[in-house]
Structure formats: structure tokens, C-alpha cells
Chain A
């Protein structure tokens, strides 16, 4: 279940919306303010603030427990040791398993969201049917309801399905968020009608149109929704904390909480665990960075 209900609020579409402005007749020099030293200085400073703690985390993971406690001001391990990683490897906290669980859960939930939300959004955007207003109204009404309202009842519901302590509880309940439907509906509405009408004249049925016309045209929006949904599930903390029980069924976020609780001020070990949890993510992110960031960027603008 998502901790963040991310609604889009319909506001009057500005004249300068994100849909790429038609190329002007004459070439235009985009005169943005010329960057000066101050700009770079600030950007570097912020990068510094972000990167240094992460480096510190990495370096601390190579310290002994004693070293981590007794010389906090020095980043350099003295002595340099991999004993923290060794402890984790022989301990019974399956960090890599947690990582896998998170990947499985986030991927599965994203898949369900993409399928169900796009179909539902299509119906709401393109089809006329009885009860449309009621259904749409009901969905919109839930946009502003905070997740905590659903926390306890869903716990009982999930329990009655026998899903406690299983990834099903992490995958299914949160996949019915109104945001996805709302977001895609906005997008579908913005698609021009002509292609669809042409297809209908050719005799294509609703499903054909949805599958072969609408969806391919919606790739950017689907990508955005996919990335946002994945990150939301990845970052989910409060729901898995209460719903997952056995150590090997945890996802990454509650798992790290258990790690911290177990090793408390054995900071070398805690940092090593955090590093193990971060490295695969950072690798994936670096590879797909441009797509991810741009997908997220367009979420606000399409909204």
C-alpha cells in the first residue's frame, strides 16, 4: 500500500503547457541567463552535500566497530577491514533476499497498475456508459484520502486472505490507487480523436483500438506511471513493517530497519548493510537515469 497518495489536481491548462511548442518559423536563440560561477558553485555545493554522506557510508562500512565509534571525525578506516561484510554474510539477515523481494514486489505491482489503470482510464476517457459519473466520482473521491485510513482495515482484510507475511500483501492492495487511473485518463483525453475515429470507421472494436492504437501512443505516460509506481512501492515503509513478519520475507525498507535494530550502534555493520542495499539500486539508476528522471519530470507537467 502506497504511503503517498499522489493526486493530480486539475488546474486550468496554461498556454505554455509541456506539449512541445510548435517549432517557430524563424530560428530562435534560446536566451537563458548565461551561467556564472555562482551557479556552478551552488550546484557543486549541493552535489557535495549529497555525495559526501554516501561516500562516508561506504567508508564506514570498512571500519571496525571500535573504530567507527571512537573516531567519528575521520572518514578513513583504520584499520581497513571487511569484517562488517563478513558478519553480515554469516549472520542471519538476508539482505540480498530483501533486495530481491523489493524488486519482485515493486515490479509486480507496477505491472498490475499499468494493466488495470490503463484499461480503466481508457473506459473513463473514451467510452460512454451508464454509471460513468458515479464510477469516476468514486475514484476521484479517494484521491485525497490518506493511506492511514486504509491501514488497519486492510490489515484485517489481508489477514483474512492469508496473505500476511507474504509478498501478495505488498503487491495487490496498493495496486488500486486512483492516481494511475486519473493520470492516464488525463493523458488519453489529450490524445487527438482522429486516429481513433478512423480506426472505428475501419471496423476496429474497442479492445483493438485500446491495444493497438491508444497504448502505443501513450508510451511516455505509461513510462512515467511505471517509474512513479515502482518508486512508490520501493519506498513503502509503514505497510511492510506491519504486514511482513519472518526475516526472509521482508522487503528492503523494513529489512534495513531490522538491521539497524539488530546491530544498533555497531555502525560499521549497519553501514555495510546500507551499502549492500544501495549499490544495486545505484547501478540500475545510473544506467537508466535519463529515462527515469525524464519520466518523473513529465508527471507534474502532464498533471
Chain B
């Protein structure tokens, strides 16, 4: 896929070419330099520094950071250690959220995109409305829904009561309701993003393919599975990957709406890691956990990538 720009230079001779290559390299690094400097300081170096920290008991408020080798990592696999139970519970929470949210974050926007792809009036108005919550930001969205879903004081339960349904559902207080709330709120917040991207992908599918399918006698569903979905594949890959990672990194909603509760049941891995490192001051343990999470996500991403690749064959 890389298309190296092959530049033909007039004149020959070994010397000028090597000098040119050297100049070329210098120029290239000049272009790269601004990015590379920031990249080195805030991406490459922290990645290594984090590993270094994970090999110590590192309390930033104390001067002594004793080296403990892989102990922080071992603790994560040792039942009964300080971090074992909490870490795996938080990983479980992240897992639950990812599994519960990603299907909805894909299916609902896809459905909406299909609808918007039809010849309708005001399509761009709808698009704008659907996209608006994302622009508002995670805090506005979370703060609003924390109120609407308050079990005693929020309108959702009040309306349910008026309809004769149970009006004391603990939306923000107990599981599994808290999960339903978190997934629902996340969908509400971000459906516009995926919808818009998928819609563009839909528009890129050649309409002739649909006509051909019609002529073959295909019904709506058949057209969807044999024309739409395959045509969306590359865009879908992008959207799936981005959505997976975003869900695995969920922090704001849990922080603002359930505070990780009840107890610590909706405390995601990211919340726990940030808390361990920056509030409990156990940076060694926290960085070790972050690397473990990275390993998990890497495996998931590779699997996802493979699956998409295989499906294209």
C-alpha cells in the first residue's frame, strides 16, 4: 500500500546521488521533527517509563521507590493480594460494558444510517440532531442523565409510575440497571458519530449493485446482507475498531453517573487504574495493570482485525 514517491533526478554519478540522499534524509527529518519531538517525549518515553515504574513500589509522595521486579504483575495473578480482586473485578466491568455496548453502538447507528440513506426530506437536519449530543460532551450528557435517571427524583421513574409500571427502578444505584443506564446513555451520546460515518459509507455503495440484486429477485433483507454489508466492510472495520476501543476506555459516564457503584461493580479498569495510581498513590501497581489491559486489548484488536480480514476473503 505504500507508494514510495520515486523521484527521478537528472544527472547521474554516485556521489551526487548519495549526497542527495543525505540531503533528502535531512529534509525528511526536518519535516518529522516537530511531531517526533512531542511523540518521543509524550508517547515513546512514557511507554518505557511506565514499564520502569511498574517494576517498583512507586509512591510519588515518598522519595524511596524500592525495586520489586515483576512483583506488581505477580500480584495481579495472586488471589488474596491487595490488587487481585479489585483489578479483575474492574476488568470484568470493562468487559461487561464492552460486550453490552458495542452491539448497540453498531446496530442502532447502522439502522439509522440505512433510514437516512433513503430519499428523505430534511436528512441533514436529522443528522445534525443525532450528532448534537456528541458535541455537547461527556460531562453535560452524564450530568443530565444522572438527574433524569435518579431513582427517587428523576423523571424516568416518575413517568413509569404514571404508566402503572414499577417506579422504583434503581437506574443509577444497582446492577444490572446501572449497566443498562450506562449503555443507554453511551448510545444516546455517541450514536450520531457512528451514524454519520456509516451513512457516508452507505452512500459510497454503487446503486447499480442494488438494481442488479433486485433484478435477481432479492428482497430487502437479502439486499442488505449481500450488497449493503459487504459494501460497508472497510468502513465497518474502522467503526468497529474505534467503538471497541472507546468502550474499553469508558471512564466519564461511570465516574459521573454511578461513581463506580454499587460498591465497585461499575468501576471500569481505567477508573481503577487511575485511582490506584493518582489517588492511592500506588503507581507501580497501576502501571502494571495498564500494561495488562493493553495486552488484553491488543489481543482483542488482533482478533477483530483477523475476523474482518477473514470475512473479506
CA distance A264 to B63 in the complex (A): 38
Which residue of chain B is the closest to A43 with respect to CB atoms?
B126
Residues on A with C-beta less than 8 A from B45 are 153, 157
Contact for A235 among B35, B138, B233, CB less than 8 A: B138
Once the chains bind, are A142 and B43 in contact (CB under 8 Å)? yes
Known: A237-B251, A256-B139, A281-B136. A56 touches B283 (CB 8 A): no
State whether A274 touches B200 (Cβ < 8 A): no
Q: Is the CB of A127 within 8 A of B115?
A: no
Cross-interface CB contact of A11 among B32, B49, B312, cutoff 8 Å: B312
Q: Could you say which of A10, A146, A301 has the most chain B C-beta atoms within 10 Å of its C-beta?
A: A146
Shortest Cβ distance from residue B112 to the other chain A in the assembled complex, whole angstroms? 6
> Are B147 and A252 interface neighbours, CB within 8 A?
no
In the assembled complex, how far is the CB of residue A225 from the closest CB belonging to chain B, in whole angstroms? 13
Given contacts A47-B130, A256-B140, A300-B235, contact A153 B245 (CB under 8 A): no
Query: Could you tell me if A297 and B207 are in contact, using CB atoms closer than 8 angstroms?
Result: no
Q: Does B175 interact with chain A (Cβ within 8 Å)?
A: no
B200 touches A297 (CB 8 A): yes
| A18 partner, pick from B28, B34, B204, beta carbons under 8 A | B204
Q: Mark A5-45, 1 if CB is under 8 A from B, else 0.
A: 11111111111111001000000101111110001101100
Specify which chain B residues have a CB less than 8 angstroms from the CB of A235 in the assembled complex.
134, 137-138, 252
Neighbouring A residues of B19 by C-beta, 8 Å = none
* Contact between chains at A206 and B31 (CB < 8 Å): yes
Q: Which of B131, B134, B140, B148 has its CB near the most chain A CB atoms (within 10 A)?
A: B140
**Across the interface, do A73 and B159 meet the contact criterion of CB distance under 8 Å?**
yes
Q: Is B241 an interface residue (CB 8 A)?
A: yes
CB of A285 within 8 Å of the partner chain: yes
Contact indicator B47/A145 (Cβ below 8 Å): yes
| Chain B interfacial residues counted at CB < 8 A | 122
Across the interface, name the chain B residue whose C-beta is closest to A19. B204
**Which of chain A's residues have a CB closer than 8 A to the CB of B225?**
none
**B34 with A119: CB separation less than 8 A:** yes
List which B140-166 residues lie within 8 A (CB) of chain A.
140, 143-148, 150, 153-155, 157-159, 161-162
Instruction: Please indicate the chain A residues that have their CB under 8 angstroms from the CB of B238 in the complex.
Output: 8-9, 11, 299-300, 303
Could you tell me if A151 and B277 are in contact, using CB atoms closer than 8 angstroms? yes
Name the prevailing secondary structure of the B interface residues. helix
B47's contact among A8, A28, A131, A150, by CB below 8 Å, is which? A150
Question: By the criterion CB–CB under 8 Å, are A301 and B290 in contact?
Answer: no
Give, as a whole number of angstroms, the nearest-CB distance from B23 to chain A. Answer: 10
Contact B42 A157 (CB under 8 A): yes
Contact call B42/A154, Cβ cutoff below 8 A: yes
Task: Return chain B residues, CB-CB under 8 Å to A130.
Answer: 21, 25
Given the interface pairs A138-B44, A151-B277, A189-B1, the reply to whether A146 lies near B155 with Cβ below 8 Å is no
- The residue in chain B whose Cβ has the minimal distance to the Cβ of A153 is B46
Residues in A with CB closer than 8 Å to B198 are 300
Query: Is the CB–CB distance between B24 and A127 below 8 Å?
Result: yes
| Residue ID in chain B nearest A145 by CB atoms | B294
Taking the closest CB of chain B, its distance from the CB of A53, in whole angstroms, is 6
Per the bound structure, the CA–CA distance linking A200 and B273 in Å amounts to 52
Partner-A contacts on B (CB < 8 A): 1-5, 7, 21, 24-25, 27-29, 31-32, 34-36, 38-39, 41-47, 49-50, 53, 60, 112, 115-120, 124, 126-140, 143-148, 150, 153-155, 157-159, 161-162, 188, 193, 196-201, 203-207, 209-211, 220, 231, 233-235, 237-239, 241-242, 245-246, 248-249, 251-252, 255-256, 269-270, 273-274, 277-278, 283, 286-287, 290-291, 293-294, 297-298, 301, 305, 308-309, 312
Which residues in A have some Cβ–Cβ distance to B below 8 Å? Answer: 1, 3-18, 21, 28, 30-35, 39-40, 42-43, 46-47, 49-51, 53-54, 56-57, 60, 68-69, 72-73, 75, 112, 115-117, 119-120, 122-132, 135, 138-139, 142, 144-157, 172-176, 178, 181, 189, 193, 196-197, 200, 206-207, 210, 231, 234-235, 237-238, 241-242, 252-257, 259-260, 265, 267, 270-271, 273-274, 277-278, 281-282, 285-286, 289-290, 292-293, 296-301, 303
Query: Lowest 5 A-B CB distances belong to which pairs?
Result: A153-B46, A73-B158, A300-B197, A129-B28, A297-B200
